[in-house]
Chains A and B, each alone.
Chain A
Amino acid sequence: MDTARQTVEGTFRSRYQRLSYFFDNEKVLGLLMIAPAMLYILALVGYPLILAFVYSFSDITVGSTHFNFVGLKNLQELIGDFDFKNALKNTILFTAVSMSIVLVLAKILALILLKDFKGKFLVRALILMPYVAPISLGVIGWLWMLDSIYSPINWLLQHTGLFGSDFWPMWLGKPGLAMTAIITVHVWRMLPLATVIMLAGLTSIPQDIQDAALVDGAGYFRRLFQVTIPMMLPIMMVAVLFGIVFTATDIIIILVLTRGGPYDSTQVLVSQAFYTGIDASDLAKGAATALFLFPLLAAVAIFMLQIARRSEVT
């Protein structure tokens, strides 16, 4: 048994010695080991990304071989397009409002969870559920809770007397209410992630700094604004950046809950791109619509690089 293993190891080793030039030369080996992943990323992220730009300046449609460059025509058309302006406006509104709510609630929840108490693991697990469960499935739960006839939320509010007996809002059927519903569900989904990131930031502040501030006579708010928040700034930036990316580019909630309706009041850039590019087969216009998010993503990428560089130095 033992000798058999030794011979196996022996052949293993000698075969490697023959190839030792490749396996011991660090530059060659490093290149060989990273090449497959790099090639894959170039082929399936890099190439489609270039295609996204190319399509935006063309008149390509699904299923046709027809392809002409049309220059800036798509972009010009979009800028004048009412649907596009509406989607852009909705994207900004949706992102700004839900991000602000998420940040405030996440900060509160993180401070609550910072305390030690019995059953913390269980509570944390429950609070994480919305982020962890497959999003499209969790959102179906909301679709049923906001049902126009059987909504348990309406039932509860009516039976506790908060709503009058003839007041039964159709959450997903009225423009303002639909946007409120989308934002609520999005907050529900993003809050766990933001909270856990904030919590990581809070616990990373060394206790002796807090103690030193306390000894120096700093009160709670002084410590909050002059120690806690400044020290959490990089991590809060990370939370905000991820929040913006995940909010502006996520359409699952909208596709499942409202499909952009009623009257396009919840249509955002990406859902608009999906309906034009895939459902209506106008790849060029869809790609151009989605591409409007690229400057946002690029800005976020640059910020992330800067944060990473700063943490590299320290």
Chain B
Amino acid sequence: MEKNSEFAKQIALKIAHFGSLAVFAVFATLPFLWMLITAFKQDADLYNRANNPFIFNLAPTLIHLKELFYETQFVKWLYNTAWVGVAVVLITLVLAIPAGYSLVRLAGRWGERLGIGIFLTYLVAPTILFIPMSRVVAELGLQDSLWSLVLVFPTFTVPFAIWLLMGFFKAIPKDLEEAAMIDGYSRFGAFIRMVIPISTSGILTVVIFSFTLVVQEYIYTLTFVTTASKYTVSVGVPTFLVHGDVYNWGALMAGCLIASLPIVIVYNFFVERFISGLTLGAVKG
């Protein structure tokens, strides 16, 4: 009897555990499931209120994908995003790798403080800055150009990258660099030949996060760019897949899903590092 009720209690706990997990998982993924269903549905099925919206009442179709790729500038937006992303990632690496190393190894006691100061600019950036920044961009003659994004996006990637890299460089034993310097390398030579090669995983993390931040960016792009062919995917899809007031929901949902999935998959492998960076090392992961 005693054993039985204990067993029942465990079963009940397990059901409650999985039940609540399922509720959270459905809440998180519902919009994406809805995108997936909509993207392959015929219009006649989609815009019929009598139909059950969660199943295919008519055969699935690829017509929305065709519209998306051949009748909109979606491919161009993907290309723009990739182009800006690569440029911003390169600038971020060139600025942040030496800066992070310098703050950890060469700056002494104020290095850490300055590092935190730089990290905090990551918090302040876009909301307060987008209005004056629009003027700065206009004065440089870069309005309505992808170059404005290349110039401005590192304002949020560089501070975070410096902070993440500081964590990685701190973990490298000083002996390794000293050994390289005894072998005849200068301090800078040791940095290039020794520190950078063994920090590959840290640098890769920075690459992924910078690229993700670029793909997600919205306000600056909306402020600086006005020509349809120059948008990134995050702004182009919500702004231009609208025909008058009638949304082309099938193509719209297909576009959202296609642009989201690669980022979602890659990001998952790096999320722990992102969190330990964000929490200022208040948690040792």
B partners with A: yes
Q: Which residues of A contact B238 (CB under 8 A)?
A: 136-137, 139-140, 256
Say whether B278 faces chain A, with CB atoms less than 8 Å apart: yes
Q: Which residues of A contact B159 (CB under 8 A)?
A: 41
Instruction: Classify the secondary structure of B's interface with A.
Output: helix
Q: A13-B184, A26-B187, A134-B233 are in contact. Are A44 and B155 (CB under 8 A)?
A: yes
Q: A134-B260, A188-B28 are in contact. Are A141 and B127 (CB under 8 A)?
A: no
Would you list 24 pairs from A and B whose C-beta atoms are within 8 A, ordered by A residue? A16-B185, A23-B188, A34-B107, A40-B158, A44-B136, A44-B154, A45-B121, A47-B136, A112-B21, A123-B25, A125-B264, A130-B28, A141-B34, A145-B31, A152-B34, A188-B27, A204-B284, A235-B283, A238-B278, A273-B127, A274-B219, A291-B128, A301-B124, A308-B116
Say whether B179 faces chain A, with CB atoms less than 8 Å apart: no
CB distance from A7 to the nearest CB of B (A): 15
Q: Which residues of B contact A30 (CB under 8 A)?
A: 102, 105-107
Among B1-9, B63-71, B196-204, B268-276, the one that faces the other chain is: B268-276
In the complex, what distance in Å separates the CA atom of A152 from the CA atom of B27? 14
Q: A45-B124, A127-B25 are in contact. Are A29 and B188 (CB under 8 A)?
A: yes
Tally B residues with Cβ within 8 Å of A.
100
Q: Measuring CB to CB, which residues of chain A are less than 8 angstroms from any residue of chain B?
A: 12-13, 16-17, 19-20, 22-24, 26-27, 29-31, 33-34, 36-38, 40-41, 44-45, 47-49, 51-52, 55, 60, 62, 105, 108-109, 112-113, 115, 117, 123-130, 132-142, 144-145, 149-150, 152, 155-156, 159, 188, 191-192, 196-197, 200-201, 204, 234-235, 238, 242, 245, 249, 251-252, 255-256, 270, 273-274, 277-278, 283, 286-287, 290-291, 293-294, 297, 300-301, 304-305, 307-308, 311-312
Contact between A144 and B253, CB atoms less than 8 A apart: yes
In the complex, what distance in Å separates the CA atom of A126 from the CA atom of B162? 29
Which residues in window 7-47 of B have CB below 8 A to A?
17, 20-21, 24-25, 27-32, 34-35, 38, 46-47
Q: For B29, give its contact among A52, A129, A270, A286 (CB under 8 Å).
A: A129
In the complex, what distance in Å separates the CA atom of A112 from the CA atom of B19? 10
Q: For B186, give its contact among A23, A31, A37 (CB under 8 Å).
A: A23
CB distance from A113 to the nearest CB of B (A): 8
